Structure 1
Amino acid sequence: MMADLLTVKDLTKQYQEFTLGPLSFNVPAGYILGMIGPNGAGKTTTLRLLLDMAAPTAGTVTLNGDTTPAARALARAEVGVALDTTGFPESWRVADVDSAMALFLPNWDAARFHELIDLFGVAKKTAYKKLSRGTQAKVNLAAALSHDAKLVILDEPAAGLDPIARDQLMTLLQAYIEDGQHSVILSSHITGDLARIADYLLYIVGGHQLFFGETATLLDRYVLVKGGRGKLTPELKKLGLGLRETAVGFSLMMRAEAARNLPAGLTIEPVDLDALMIYYGKEVQADAQ
């Protein structure tokens, strides 16, 4: 049985106007977990809790067998991190990043770091402040992937990256886990990337965990049903999620098993992650009104 690098059980964070959780999920060694959800869903807060950057109200986080913040801090060198809100001092150049990381990370691999910097096309003598946001992200990613971290946690790592750099990153992450000893947690709004590489998905909306499991299982769970306006019955409305109507027809999302005995004249299509989030989001908005 594959060991879990990370296990989360009933994790909750209570704020005055927002509650995250309870969340329960695990990340086995050798896999990629994708986190999806709209802005404000709680994804970044979840990552902060995993990294002990915020204290949970309840629940437990087990990192490579360690359950307390103090014990997890000792294992922090085993975690690579690139968050959307973090970076390096403005005056630093690539050589400064290299030197600083080597002081704090016993497994720092300078050769690997410069290899990734070259792959990403980063100007080594340009100050971090003067790099574009996308290029800063490349430096952050290179650092996160250059000390043999067992678990790499990335928050919107592809934001600002061009399609070529995004493809390079996705290929790197897939290669990173191939030995079965490393795992990645990847929070991203670019659902096409997640559909390509994520073995598991954690889906959060409004602080609530809607789904955790295999990516294929989630996508196979739902279908899109489309048809002319005359085909939209009360029964379909009751079975569907996120109804969208136009002057000529309608579309809604439905559990796959519920769509097996629909009447003729309707079109049934598979869902992708974009459609899943759009239709679920429309349903959540409707419920909130």
Structure 2
Amino acid sequence: MNKILEITNLCKSYKDFSLKDVNFSLERGYIMGFIGPNGAGKSTTIKLIMNLIKKDSGQIKIFGLDNRKSEISIKEKIGFVYDENHYYEDLTVQEMKSIISPFYSQWDENLFKKYAKDFGLPLKKQIKHLSKGMKMKFSLAIALSHNAELLIMDEPTSGLDPLIRSELLDVLQSLMQDEKKSVFFSTHITSDLDKIADYITLVNNGEVILSKTKDELFDEYCVVKGSKDHLKSDMDNIFIGLRENQFGFEALSQNKNKVIQYLGDSVIIEKPTLEDIMVFSTRRSDQHDPSY
């Protein structure tokens, strides 16, 4: 397997939060959705990947190289798109591009011009006057204009209108035609990943809950709905994040076949969304939700 990103036993502790033995990997030519509720550890993991903060233990390999020892050569081949704007607000798009481009030996000016045209970037406009969607498009144009092999995106669609989000997803899907490139897409907007992700890694409270292909998740997991009469003590191990109300229950199961075996057609079995899998899996500790 040709792994473009490999995280092994990664740990980082703060006073009130710890990232604990994080393990996952991403192969070339695929998009990984990195999901979890706010505060789950997504941004901390990305900062560690980018060597912006120091890990306590574990290993991070990008392109097969240690992310600290080979930091400069690695970052030459990484494109970044963040939720927050990190550019000089008083500069124009053209001026900011001219400052950034010399840092990349593989900068392709013609490619930038193409993306600027495709995205409708106003090159002479100050960055502070750009909409959030246009700032994201500028970040994406920069990230894609130096032949990056790994695109790392931290909440890129947060706060964007559906049309801009759809445009971004289209760009990422077209990018995947080049099987040498990969995308690591961190978000809490799971509906975006329903459309484009190949792999899903879910984190909660600093731990990896699951890391599988999206197809595996949809094949294995299901949402189960039924009356409380079907709830038995010996079935607790097949339900995740059980929610009850006066009308019945709703739960996630990781074993669709076992649900069918135990309950047959006496319950409703539905295909889950990624949001279902995230919400139910991260609320295991709150099995009975009176607000549901």
Q: CA deviation at 1:238?
A: 4.9
User: In 2, distance between residues paired with 1:225 and 1:206?
Assistant: 25
Equivalent position amino acid for 1:258 in 2? K
Question: Residues 141 and 157 of structure 1 are in contact (CA less than 8 Å); yes or no, is this contact kept in structure 2?
Answer: no
User: In 2, distance between residues paired with 1:84 and 1:169?
Assistant: 13
Question: Residues 42 and 206 of structure 1 are in contact (CA less than 8 Å); yes or no, is this contact kept in structure 2?
Answer: yes
Question: Residues 98 and 110 of structure 1 are in contact (CA less than 8 Å); yes or no, is this contact kept in structure 2?
Answer: no
User: In 2, distance between residues paired with 1:121 and 1:245?
Assistant: 49
Which residue in the other structure is 2:76 paired with?
77
Task: Provide structure 2 residue ranges, at least 5 long, that are not aligned to the other structure.
Answer: none
User: In 1, distance between residues paired with 2:228 and 2:152?
Assistant: 46
| CA deviation map 1:144-171 (0-9, x unaligned) | 1111101110001112322222222112
Question: Residues 87 and 140 of structure 1 are in contact (CA less than 8 Å); yes or no, is this contact kept in structure 2?
Answer: no
Worse overlay, 37-46 or 88-97: 88-97
Worse overlay, 165-174 or 45-54: 165-174
Which residue in the other structure is 2:166 paired with?
167
The total of aligned residue pairs comes to: 286
Identity over aligned residues, as a percent?
33
The 5 A counterparts of 1:32-47 are 32-47=31-46
Which residue in the other structure is 1:23 paired with?
22
Runs of 4+ in 1 over 6 A off after TM superposition: none
Q: CA deviation at 1:284?
A: 3.5
User: In 2, distance between residues paired with 1:141 and 1:110?
Assistant: 14
Which residue in the other structure is 2:260 paired with?
260
Worse overlay, 80-89 or 227-236: 227-236
Question: Residues 134 and 159 of structure 1 are in contact (CA less than 8 Å); yes or no, is this contact kept in structure 2?
Answer: no
Which residue in the other structure is 1:276 paired with?
277
Equivalent position amino acid for 1:94 in 2? V
Scaled by the length of structure 2, the TM-score of the pair is 0.91
Scaled by the length of structure 1, the TM-score of the pair is 0.92
User: In 1, distance between residues paired with 2:63 and 2:32?
Assistant: 16
Equivalent position amino acid for 2:45 in 1? T
SS at match of 1:95: helix
The 5 A counterparts of 1:4-153 are 4-67=3-66, 69-153=68-152
> CA distance change for structure 1 residues 150 and 137 in 2, over 3 Å: closer, same or farther?
same
| CA deviation map 1:165-208 (0-9, x unaligned) | 22221121122122211111001122121121111111101101
CA RMSD of aligned residues (A): 1.9
User: In 2, distance between residues paired with 1:276 and 1:39?
Assistant: 16
Question: Residues 119 and 137 of structure 2 are in contact (CA less than 8 Å); yes or no, is this contact kept in structure 1?
Answer: yes
SS at match of 2:38: coil
> CA distance change for structure 1 residues 159 and 68 in 2, over 3 Å: closer, same or farther?
closer
User: In 2, distance between residues paired with 1:241 and 1:116?
Assistant: 44
Q: CA deviation at 1:250?
A: 1.5
User: In 1, distance between residues paired with 2:97 and 2:285?
Assistant: 46
Q: CA deviation at 1:91?
A: 0.9
SS at match of 2:153: strand
Equivalent position amino acid for 1:277 in 2? M
User: In 2, distance between residues paired with 1:53 and 1:285?
Assistant: 34
Which residue in the other structure is 2:202 paired with?
203
User: In 1, distance between residues paired with 2:244 and 2:28?
Assistant: 44
Worse overlay, 111-120 or 261-270: 111-120
Worse overlay, 186-195 or 129-138: 129-138
Which residue in the other structure is 2:245 paired with?
246
Worse overlay, 218-227 or 40-49: 218-227
Q: CA deviation at 1:55?
A: 0.8
Which residue in the other structure is 1:224 paired with?
223
User: In 1, distance between residues paired with 2:9 and 2:171?
Assistant: 32
